[in-house]
């Protein structure tokens, strides 16, 4: 449910990177510097949600979705008011150059983004599997009562998880604007894709998320070059429906 707001946080991270890049800060370094700021921001957003909805026992279904959609809309409108609707981009030494493999040319910005995304995913996977808080984050969605018996506060764990998710949006936003120009409305493209990647990979599986992201990315690229842009957005949901028909828990789900 809170995930509907994170595509907007992703774009906000891209624009924050754009601002720092204007002062000569490397986009990757800007993303890393922004992560603690976004972490604190995420803690505040979830605390406000808990105080106004979850903590009062309000319906966490439709009202919760409406809350986070509202947050995403506020972020989008705020970016439009500050930066306008025009696309923005950044510049760095690895943007605009390519690496040649025989007759193939791969843009360095793509390789940089892939490498950083792989490192971030690996670090999160280790955190979720090797630390008590990480295991508690995975457990809180399954059984809050059992988590309380283990001496952990589910509210604190969920707030911490939301902060981590928001912090990753800062670095992911930096990668997004490294790959290509962004505008305030681009978050709409990632709401459906985020849902597809998480469900396709299997809820709670970091390795599944990585594999699912690669599958959807490659599939969309192939369709984009062969069938045109009109069919590319339908690829993610098409693959999702086929996989769930065979394996309802997702590729790596239990």
Helix (H, G, I), strand (E, B) or coil at 172: helix
Helix (H, G, I), strand (E, B) or coil at 52: helix
Helix (H, G, I), strand (E, B) or coil at 25: coil
> How far apart are the C-alpha atoms of 89 and 15, rounded to whole Å?
9
| Global confidence as pTM | 0.86
**Which helix (H) or strand (E) element contains residue 194?**
helix 188-201
Identify the residue with better confidence: 59 or 86.
Answer: 86
* Residues pairing with 99 in the sheet: 106
- Please give the sequence-ordered ranges of beta strands (E in DSSP) within the chain, or none if there are none: 98-101, 104-107
Residues in the chain: 254
pLDDT of residue 37: 97
pLDDT of residue 177: 95
Q: Which residues contact 82 (CB under 8 A, 6 or more apart)?
A: 15
Smallest CA-to-CA distance from 109 within 96, 118, 119, 100 is with 96
In this predicted model, what pLDDT tens digit does every residue of 131-177 receive, in sequence order? 988 888 888 777 777 777 777 788 899 999 999 999 999 999 999 99
Measure Cα distances from 151 to 44, 129, 134, 148 in Å: 23, 18, 14, 5
Which whole number is the average pLDDT over 242-246? 78
């Amino acid at each position: 449910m809170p995930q509907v707001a994170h595509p907007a946080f992703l774009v906000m991270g891209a624009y924050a990177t754009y601002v720092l890049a204007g002062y000569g800060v490397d986009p990757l370094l800007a993303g890393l510097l922004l992560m603690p700021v976004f972490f604190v921001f995420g803690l505040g957003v979830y605390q406000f949600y808990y105080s106004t909805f979850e903590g009062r026992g309000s319906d966490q279904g439709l009202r919760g979705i409406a809350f986070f959609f509202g947050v995403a809309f506020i972020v989008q409108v705020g970016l439009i008011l500050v930066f306008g609707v025009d696309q923005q981009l950044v510049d760095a030494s690895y943007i605009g150059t390519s690496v040649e493999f025989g007759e193939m040319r791969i843009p360095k910005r793509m390789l940089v983004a892939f490498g950083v995304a792989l490192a971030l995913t690996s670090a999160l996977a280790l955190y979720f599997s090797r630390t008590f808080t990480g295991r508690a984050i995975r457990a809180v969605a399954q059984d809050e009562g059992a988590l309380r018996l283990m001496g952990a506060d589910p509210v604190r764990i969920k707030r911490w998880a939301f902060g981590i998710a928001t912090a990753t949006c800062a670095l992911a936003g930096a990668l997004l604007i490294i790959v290509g120009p962004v505008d305030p409305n681009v978050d709409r493209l990632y709401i459906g894709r985020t849902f597809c990647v998480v469900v396709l990979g299997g809820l709670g599986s970091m390795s599944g998320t990585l594999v699912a992201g690669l599958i959807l990315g490659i599939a969309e690229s192939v369709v984009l070059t062969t069938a045109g842009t009109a069919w590319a957005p339908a690829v993610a949901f098409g693959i999702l429906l086929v996989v769930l028909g065979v394996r309802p828990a997702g590729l790596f789900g239990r």
